[in-house]
Each structure stands twice: as C-alpha cells, then as structure tokens.
Amino acid sequence: MPAGTPALLMPELPEVETVVRGLRRHLPGRRIVELRLGKTDFMDDPAAIGERVPGSLIRAVRRHGKFLVLDLEAGAADGSGARAELLVIHLGMTGQLTVVAADTEVKPHTHVFFMLDDRRELRFCDPRRFGRMLVATPADGQKILGPLGADPLEVSEADFRRLITSRRARIKALLLDQTVFRGMGNIYTDESLWRAKIHPARLGANLKPPEIRKLHRAMRAILEQAIKLGGSSISDYVGADGEPGEFQIRHRAYDREGKKCFRCRARIRRMIVAGRSSYFCPKCQRAPRGL
C-alpha cells in the first residue's frame, strides 16, 4: 500500500454507489430535525446549509458520478410551503457518511451531524476535508451536476467510441475527466486499462476500434464487479452502517509496482500520467511511440 493511503475508503464510483445503497436503507422518509456543524471550509455556503436543511424531509438518495445527492423536501411538516432542495455531497479522498445511533462515539474529523427524527444521526467525517457539500435548488444543482459526462455503466459502445476518439488527450486523462465520464477514478482507470491491454499514455484518438471495444467492456465489467463486492479495495472500508466490510478486490495493476503481471509475469511499472500515479504492465500494455 502506498505511503499515506488512508485505510478508510476510496471514493470512486463503486464506493459511492455502495454508500448510496447503504444510506437508502435508512434515510428516505426520515426528517432532519437539527444540524450541528464543525469545520465548514468544505461547504460552498455553510449558512445556507444551516438555514435550509434543518426541518426537511429526505425523499431519496442517489448518485451522480462521484456525487451523492439527497433529495429533500423543505418547508413545514404539514406540507405547506414545501419546496424541493438538493443536498449535494462529494466525498473527496477521505470522506465518509454513516448513519449511527445518536449516542455513538464521535470519530475525530467528524464535521457534520444531521440529526434525524429516529434518534439516529447521519454523520459526515472527512480528515482531509477535500470533500464538498452544498444545498441547492434543483435548478442550481444542475450547475454542479449538469457538466458531468456520461455514466460509465450506461454509456453505449458507440458513444464511448465517439467520446474517446473525438479528443486528443491521453486515454488516462480522458477516463479521469469527470466531464467526459462521471465517476471514474485512478484505481478503476488503471484496472480497466490493464484489462484492456492499453497503455495509459496512448492518445484516445489513436485507439483502434477493437481496443475501444475491449476498454468499454473492461471498464463496465470492473465497475460492476466492484459494486457487487461492496465497492472497496482495501480492508478497512466502512459502509453507511459504520460496519467494516470484508470486501477485497484483487488489484491487477494498481499499487502493484515491481510485482508480476498476472497475465505475463512481467514487472508492473509505475509512471505519472495525467498527473497521477499510473500502474501498468510494460509488456501487455504497449507504450505509444515516443515514450
């Protein structure tokens, strides 16, 4: 495990999906009766959250890329003056959302307590505070969610090809670009490229149709498997119920520098591509010319 890797959770698409599914079992139908705030520098507008969230009813929990969205119905409990609000949350690198009994011990770096009407609390904990939180009308929420690209699990092969070949950036950069595909992160990008045998520094526009087809399939298969396994790649993952999981995905490339490729036994290498650590097999994933 690389230095400093927080043994908490890795919020890429499968992890956020896992959190959303966990929250869905507890939150819809609950009312947020009170809010307590710690540090708020990860909020767009802390005052707005303090004013508009308390008293609201949680209608639904959903995911948009790596963003979690709570659909709220704000206004009086009798339904008068009801208005729709979105609570938009990004977990950044170390964010956690858990639903716990109100008397549960508070972990360090817990910055938001959403007190519910069933003596429980939704808590947001984020040591690095790279996360983000805001309340918005559905229209304003579109300013955040609207620019996000295609859902990697839904995108058709034809659209996938078009999105990749119409750009001149490296494939690694394209997969990580949230305005192209929403939800891909560093781990699953490397895993998808390894499975499709494509070097991260290849230009998207230069990929051949069979390669694009393989990548499309690899990406979806890996994301689906990760979701199925509970969306975590390290052992100390904590789900929405606060319970540690035993989810283990065996990385094929990510964080395996110097180890043998599971396909060809060559040594996995690491290089910086698109500003991020990138792990690949130099034999299976042929480097583009000029590298």
Partner DNA sequence: CGTTGAACCTGTTTGC
Partner DNA sequence: TGCAAACAGGTTCAAC
Tokens of 248: 């283990």
Candidate list 277, 282, 283, 286; residue touching DNA; CB under 7 A: 277
Q: Answer positive or negative: Cα dihedral of 209, 192, 131, 59.
A: positive
Instruction: Examine residue 10 and tell whether it contacts DNA (CB under 7 A).
Output: yes
Instruction: Examine residue 129 and tell whether it contacts DNA (CB under 7 A).
Output: yes
Q: Name the residue nearer to DNA (CB basis): 24 or 109.
A: 109
Given 14, 17, 63, 66, which residue is catalytic?
Answer: 66
Given 30, 31, 213, 276, which residue is catalytic?
Answer: 276
Q: Name which of residues 56 to 95 contact DNA (CB under 7 A).
A: 65-66, 90, 92-94
What DSSP string runs through 152-205?
A: TTT--HHHHHHHHHT--SBHHHHHH-TTTBSS--HHHHHHHHHHHT--TTSBGG
Instruction: Examine residue 230 and tell whether it contacts DNA (CB under 7 A).
Output: no
Considering only 28-36, 166-174, 218-226, 260-268, which stretch makes contact with DNA by CB under 7 A?
166-174
Instruction: Examine residue 262 and tell whether it contacts DNA (CB under 7 A).
Output: no
Q: Name the residue nearer to DNA (CB basis): 210 or 290.
A: 290
Instruction: Examine residue 109 and tell whether it contacts DNA (CB under 7 A).
Output: yes
| Contact predicate 87/69, CB 8 Å | yes
| Contact predicate 181/149, CB 8 Å | yes
Rounded to whole angstroms, how far apart are CA atoms 253 and 193? 9
Phi/psi for 236 (5° steps) reads -90, 20
Tokens of 211: 């390669």
CA nearest neighbour of 163 among 102, 207, 98: 207
Tokens of 176: 């990580």
Considering only 98-106, 112-120, 181-189, 212-220, which stretch makes contact with DNA by CB under 7 A?
181-189
Give me the least distance between CB of 133 and DNA, in Å please. Answer: 13
Catalytic residue at 129? no
Residues designated catalytic: 11-12, 66, 276
Q: Which residues are near DNA by CB under 7 A?
A: 1-12, 41, 65-66, 90, 92-94, 108-109, 127-130, 167-170, 173, 176, 178, 185-187, 203, 232-234, 272-277
